[in-house]
Amino acid sequence: MALAVSQQFFEAIKHTSSPLVLIPTHAQIDGYATALGIASVLQKLKKEPTIVAVDGEAPTTLSFLPNHKEIQINLLQLRKLIITLPTLKTKIAQITHEAQEEFSSISILPTEGFWKDHEVQVCHSAFRFDLIICDSLAIKRDLFIFGRFLKRYAY
């Protein structure tokens, strides 16, 4: 037998470590306050929530809440780029970064020798968030808008 919706929610909360609390578009003060409350409960459960509002920062009327400044308006640092190099024979002497107008370069200098192409692995980490929580009656619309928002920052 399937779990009740509330039980599914609590099971998801148990298994998350980095939840994203999404404030729906056109949210009123209640939407912001709900997200802040959910994030507060998650923090007490030793989770690391991030609150994002597509429409902007919390209204000033909520400035009395301790975590009102934690609301972000952008999704930042969604994934890491991971470069894996074997270092048993070829040690790393220096890592440098050069930022240009449209590109950035990362240079890795070995102490001696070099790495062969087949030894270098480049991949992405998993996404930073392992659960998305959205409090909204219009959840389909909000997840569609969130998808567009995510695409702008993730791809």
Please say if the pLDDT value at position 30 is more than 90.
Answer: no
Q: CA 122, CA 139: separation in Å to the nearest integer? A: 36
Q: Above 60 in pLDDT, residue 141? A: no
Q: Which residue has the higher pLDDT, 123 or 65?
A: 123
User: What are the distances in angstroms from CA 36 to CA 56, 67, 110?
Assistant: 14, 7, 47
Q: What is the pTM of this model?
A: 0.71
pLDDT at 111: 94
Q: Classify domain 5-79+127-154 at the CATH superfamily level.
A: inorganic pyrophosphatase (n-terminal core) (3.90.1640.10)
Q: How is the chain split into domains, by residue range?
A: 5-79+127-154, 81-124
Do residues 124 and 83 make contact, with C-beta atoms less than 8 angstroms apart? no
Mean pLDDT computed over every residue of the chain: 85
- Please give the pLDDT value at position 103: 92
Q: What is the mean pLDDT of residues 84-105?
A: 94
